[in-house]
Amino acid sequence: MVKVITYGTFDLFHEGHYRLLQRAKALGDYLIVGVTTEKYDMERGKLNVIDALMTRIENVKKTGFADEVIIEETSGQKISDVQKYHVDIFTVGSDWTGAFDYMSDYCRVVYLERTKNISSTMLREQNRRIQKIGLIGTGRIAERFMPEAKLVSGISTQGVYNPRTESARRFARKWEIASYDDIEAFYRDVDAVYVASPHQTHYAYIMEALAHGKHVLCEKPMVLKKQQAEEVYAYAKEHRLILFEGIKTAYCPGFEKLLGIACSGTIGHIRYIDACFTKLERKDTRELTDKKYGGSFTELASYCLLPVIKLFGTDYKEVHFDTIQDGNGLDVFTKASLTFPKGIATATCGLGVKSEGRLLIAGTKGYIVAEAPWWKTTYFEVHYEKPDQIEKYSERFLGDGLRYEIKDFLNMINGNDKSAFKLTRGESIAFADIMEKFMKEQRRI
C-alpha cells in the first residue's frame, strides 16, 4: 500500500485545495492530510486565517479523498509524521517547489502543479469570497509581494500585467500565475490590483483600475502631485472602492505599537522628530539612473515622512529641502526640514550617502528611539532624563512585511475598516503634496 501525506491550512476551501487533494490521493492508495492549527499558522507567519480548525477539517473530509486527517502543530512535525505513519510520498502544491526538498531523505517528494485560476463557484456556495488580485509591474517589489501574498488567507494572486509582455510572461512562469498582454482581459479577471510599476505610471494605472471597478493597493510613493492624490481618493470614495498607499511600515505591528506609545503621553508632548533611512544603491539601478523620477527622496521619503505626519499631523507650516546631488543631478542625499505649530521634524534619505538610519521622537518628558531598520519595526526604547531609566519594547515583523498591508487591504475590501486609521487619505495626500514641492524645487516637474 502506497501512503501519501500532504499538509495545508485549507482555509476558505476552494478548487485549488480540492484539486490538490484529488491528485494527492491519486498518487497512492492511502491519503493522510495534515491540517494546520491556528497556533502553528501564527508561528509560521500566515495571517488572516478565517475558518476554525474544525471547519477546515470538515471541508477536507467532505472531499472524500482523505483516508485520515491529522493536525499539524509544529514546524518539525512533517519528518516525524512520515516516520510514524510509514509514508511513501510527501506532496504539496508547486507554490512550495524546493521548500520541502529536505523531506527527500525520508520519502519521495512530489510537487503538484498549483491551480492557477480558482473560480468562485465553489466559494459562492459557501457564501464566501476569495479576492483575486492582479499585479501591474514585475520589478523587485512585485517579486517580494508574491511570497507575502501567499501568507494572507483570503487573497489569491491571479495574474500579472506589464506592457513589456516578455517580462510579464517571465514573471508569470516563475510564480505560476497568468500573464496578460491585454489589460482589459486582466481587469476582467481580477477583483483588486496591486500597482508596482514605476512611480510616474501609478496615477494612470490607479485611475484605470478604479474606472474598471477594482480596488487598488499602490506602492509608495502613490502619486507625485497633491491634486492627483486628491483626485484618486475622491474617485475611489465616490465609487466605494478601496484605495491604499502601500507604505509597509504603516501597517506593521511594531510601528503601530511605537505610535501608540508616542501618542500616549509617556514622553510628554512631542516636539521633535528625526527620521532617517539610507540605503547604498548600485549605480545602475533605476533609482540612480532615472533623472526625472529617481533619487533618494522619491524612493525613501515616504518612510521618513510617515512618523512625522502621523504624529504632528498634516498641517505643516513650512518645508525646506537640502540636497546633495550626483553627476546626473539626482539627489543622493536629502534632508527635508518641516515646521509644525508645536514642533519641528527632519526626514533624511540617502541612496549614495550612508547614515545611521534612526527614528527619534523627542518629547517634553523623554524620547523614543528605534534604530535602523526602524521601518521594519521590531524593537525600540523609551528613554527619560535619568539615563538608566529605559523601557524596551519588541514586536514581530515577519518576512518582508508586505503581508500586513495586504491583510489590512483585504479586510477593508471585506468591509472591516478597523485599520483605516493606519494611513489615512489625508496623510497620503500630504505625502504627495511634499513630494510635489520637492520635485518642483528640483525642477523635475
In the list 3, 27, 32, 36, the residue contacting ligand C2G (rule: CB under 6 A) is 36
Closest listed residue to residue 82, CA positions, set 102, 99, 107, 65: 107
Does residue 95 interact with ligand C2G by CB under 6 A? Answer: yes
Peptide bond into 253 cis (omega under 30): no
In the list 3, 4, 16, 332, the residue contacting ligand C2G (rule: CB under 6 A) is 16
Say how far apart CA 61 and CA 362 lie, in whole Å.
57
Residue 391 per-residue DSSP state:
E
* Minimum CB–partner distance for residue 44 and ligand C2G (Å): 7
In the list 60, 82, 89, 92, the residue contacting ligand C2G (rule: CB under 6 A) is 92
Say how far apart CA 107 and CA 95 lie, in whole Å.
20
Does residue 115 interact with ligand C2G by CB under 6 A? Answer: yes
Closest listed residue to residue 356, CA positions, set 345, 374, 371, 370: 371
Is-contact 252 428, C-beta < 8 A?
Answer: no
Sheet holding 178-180, edge to edge: 178-180, 155-161, 131-136, 192-195, 215-219, 243-246
In the list 27, 118, 172, 432, the residue contacting ligand C2G (rule: CB under 6 A) is 118
Grid coordinates belonging to 259: 505610535
Restricted to residues 130-189, the positions that interact with ligand C2G (CB under 6 A) are none
* Minimum CB–partner distance for residue 153 and ligand C2G (Å): 7
* Minimum CB–partner distance for residue 248 and ligand C2G (Å): 21
* Minimum CB–partner distance for residue 74 and ligand C2G (Å): 10
* Minimum CB–partner distance for residue 403 and ligand C2G (Å): 12
Is-contact 136 143, C-beta < 8 A?
Answer: no
Q: Is 389 exposed, middle or buried (0-12, 13-18, 19+ CB in 10 A)?
A: exposed
**Between 113 and 441, CB nearer to ligand C2G:** 113
**Between 95 and 219, CB nearer to ligand C2G:** 95
Closest listed residue to residue 9, CA positions, set 145, 189, 152, 134: 152
**Between 230 and 400, CB nearer to ligand C2G:** 400
**173: helix, strand or coil:** helix
Restricted to residues 58-87, the positions that interact with ligand C2G (CB under 6 A) are 72
Does residue 7 interact with ligand C2G by CB under 6 A? Answer: yes
The footprint of ligand C2G on this chain (CB under 6 A) covers a number of residues equal to 17
* Minimum CB–partner distance for residue 95 and ligand C2G (Å): 5
Does residue 278 interact with ligand C2G by CB under 6 A? Answer: no
| Residue with nearest beta carbon to ligand C2G | 93
Which residue type is seen at 404? Y
Stretch touching ligand C2G by CB under 6 A, among 110-118, 195-203, 234-242, 421-429: 110-118
Q: What is the binding site for ligand C2G (CB under 6 A)?
A: 7-11, 16-17, 20, 36, 72, 92-93, 95-96, 114-115, 118
